Copies of this chain bind each other. A is one copy, B any other.
Amino acid sequence: MVLRIGHRVPRDERVTTHVCLTARAFGADKVVIADAVDPQIKETVEDVVERFGGDFKVEMGPPWKTVVEEWLAAGGEVIHLTMYGMPLPALIGKIRRSERDKLIVVGSEKVPGELFKLSTYNVSVTSQPISEVSALAVFLDWLFKGSELPKRFEGGRIRIIPSDRGKNVLREPRSSSRRLKKEGFRA
């Protein structure tokens, strides 16, 4: 599960949407957006899930600290992605081997100091200012060793067929069952 903290409405709307879509495509099952309610994001992400498949969930509003403390109390581990943390290559082996459920926390510009203390790991992707979106993507890609890249999502009405030059989309009309209609263009 991914916990997004520090979301400001409406300033972070697009970045938080990108956090959600990245979490989904790279293999997370859910995002919790802490301390904020932004119905537009939930709608956008649920629309993607409905069209592209899978059962990714978005939850909004709970205080970040409650989410973290309950996760730890249930026996899970908390991985906070921060440029101040220990380098990803140094920690990823240990994190992969651990069988505890993982909560991955990504912040915005300001992160509460307490989070550094509560987290099981503070992990840095590059020790440079980057983006919570790229930190999350690269962390999940390393965690799953790239095996998530050809991930298939069950259900959905749209499937992208890889193409070297253009768009190749199988699309199922909303009303019918499993008939996918081919469309797209070749450049």
Contacts and interface: CB of A to CB of B under 8 A. Distances in A.
Range class of the A interface residue count: 35 or more
A114 interface: yes
Contact of A149 (B89, B131, B133): B89
A138 interface: yes
Nearest to A19: B131
Contacts of A26: 126, 130, 134
Interface stretch (A29-37, A95-103, A165-173): A165-173
Given A11-B14, A18-B130, A133-B133, A113 B185 contact: yes
Interface of A: 11-12, 14-15, 18-19, 21-22, 24-26, 48, 52, 83-90, 113-117, 121-122, 124-131, 133-138, 141-142, 146, 148-151, 153, 160, 162-169, 184-185, 187
